[in-house]
Amino acid sequence: MNDYTFPEMRDMHFVYGLADGNAAEARRLYAERYPNRVLPDARIFTNIHRRLGETGQLARNAADAGRGRNVRNPELEEAVLQHFADQPSTSTRAVGNHLGVSHTSVWRVLHEDGQHPFSRLPVHELTPVDYPLRVDFAESVLARCAVEPDFPAIIMFTDEACFKRESSYNTRNYHLWSEENPHGSYVRGFQHRLSVNLWVGILGDHLIGPHRLPARLNGDTYLAFLQDILPGLMEDIPLALWQRVWFQQDGAPPHFDLRVREHLLNAFQGRVIMRGAPAAAMAIPWPARSPDLTPPDFFVWGFYKNEVYDPARGPIVDEEDLLQRIEEATNALRALAASGRFARVREDFVRRLQKCIEVGGRQFEHLL
């Protein structure tokens, strides 16, 4: 630490603040701003910030700063580590308050023990009843893959999603980089709301749709879509592939309409993956609450929403603007499909089936 001058350490702390506490980003900014200086390790930025908070000094050596770092306290370290062993999700501030020390002292003990804070991934809710059904589904599909290796490529995965004017905005993910605060803002809480309900399908390397559905979908409107619109959307699908297609849908109420299920069983000659699939048919029952097992949910909609709600494009002005962004996202997704990206999505689908079996049908996305 003492190999650096006070101006250098001051500048390191400055860029650490610009990087919002991200040491790797601070190191990149420092290299960009001071290309003729020795580039410090990323840990130096963190150490300077921590030391400044604990001692009020930039330097570690007492000869330079007038005071050194605190003497190690084995009892404190043991108490801190025991707290986090018992409750890994507790906060450094809560443990510090409990032990009567600063949260930075708690953080230092964890850091020196080689521990790091990791974010938790949100997962969908499941009930114990869902577990065996999810395992049955995964095993059924993998069994067919053993007989037909291209089975995932002949499943038409389908889903619907609603696009609104305003999406969720995570302020931790978006920043305005500037030497001074530009006092930026973003618009939320629109008075005039709008929404677009889209249906989309993936079949092999083909993107089917998207097609705009009524805002309120029910059995009648969904059946009309399947009978009157879907055949036209599939005009470009080769006949040889069409004759092998399996149709997949989740368990949304309109999908469970008896007329819808009967139509799909007839139209696809029993090759369907759906809620309420007849036990005697070749159809495969779809397990409830399983968005992690269908490509539209774990890939397509995320791609669309990243494109449509890109903060760099500003707020959505009106319905025409929303539809234009959806069209541009569709074109970008078709380009990905043409480049072979959907093959990787199918590989991910199979990997998810295997992981689902491995964890006994429980949530697994945080383990991928």
DSSP-derived letter for residue 127 is -
Instruction: Summarize pLDDT for 275-314 with one digit per residue, the tens.
Output: 988 876 788 999 989 989 999 999 999 999 989 888 888 8
Kindly report the CATH class assigned to 130-172+191-367. alpha beta
Indicate whether 49 pLDDT > 80: yes
Question: 355: phi > 0 → left, psi -120 to 50 → alpha, else beta; which?
Answer: alpha
- β-sheet bridge partners, residue 208: 201
Indicate whether 168 pLDDT > 50: no
> Looking at the chain, how many residues does it have?
368
Indicate whether 50 pLDDT > 80: yes
- Please tell me the least confidently modeled range out of 116-120, 156-160, 218-222, 263-267: 116-120
Average pLDDT of the chain?
83
What DSSP line would sit under 277-316, residue for residue? --TTSS-EEPPSS-GGGSHIIIIIHHHHHHHHT-GGG-S-
The confidence score (pLDDT) of residue 285 equals: 93
Q: Model confidence at 242, in pLDDT bands (50, 70, 90)?
A: confident
Q: Cis peptide leading into 210, omega within 30 of 0?
A: yes
Indicate whether 122 pLDDT > 70: no
Q: Is the pTM of this model over 0.75?
A: no
Side-chain-facing half-sphere of 174: CA atoms under 13 Å: 14
Question: Which secondary-structure segment (H or E) carries 78?
Answer: helix 74-86
Q: Please state, in angstroms and as integers, the Cα–Cα distance from residue 79 to each residue in 53, 90, 94, following that order.
A: 22, 14, 13
Side-chain-facing half-sphere of 144: CA atoms under 13 Å: 19
How far is Cα 47 from Cα 272, in angstroms, rounded to an integer?
58
How far is Cα 126 from Cα 120, in angstroms, rounded to an integer?
17
- Quick one: average pLDDT of 51-57? 80
Q: Tokens in use for 361?
A: 């049908």
What DSSP line would sit under 1-25, residue for residue? -TTS-HHHHHHHHHHHHHTTT-HHH
Instruction: Summarize pLDDT for 322-344 with one digit per residue, the tens.
Output: 999 999 999 999 999 888 899 99
Indicate whether 151 pLDDT > 90: yes
Q: Tokens in use for 311?
A: 């903060």
How far is Cα 124 from Cα 363, in angstroms, rounded to an integer?
7
The confidence score (pLDDT) of residue 296 equals: 93
Residues forming CATH 3.30.420.10 domain(s) in the chain: 130-172+191-367
The confidence score (pLDDT) of residue 69 equals: 43
The confidence score (pLDDT) of residue 1 equals: 43
Instruction: Summarize pLDDT for 178-237 with one digit per residue, the tens.
Output: 555 665 555 555 445 678 899 999 999 999 989 999 988 899 999 999 999 999 998 888
How far is Cα 91 from Cα 83, in angstroms, rounded to an integer?
10
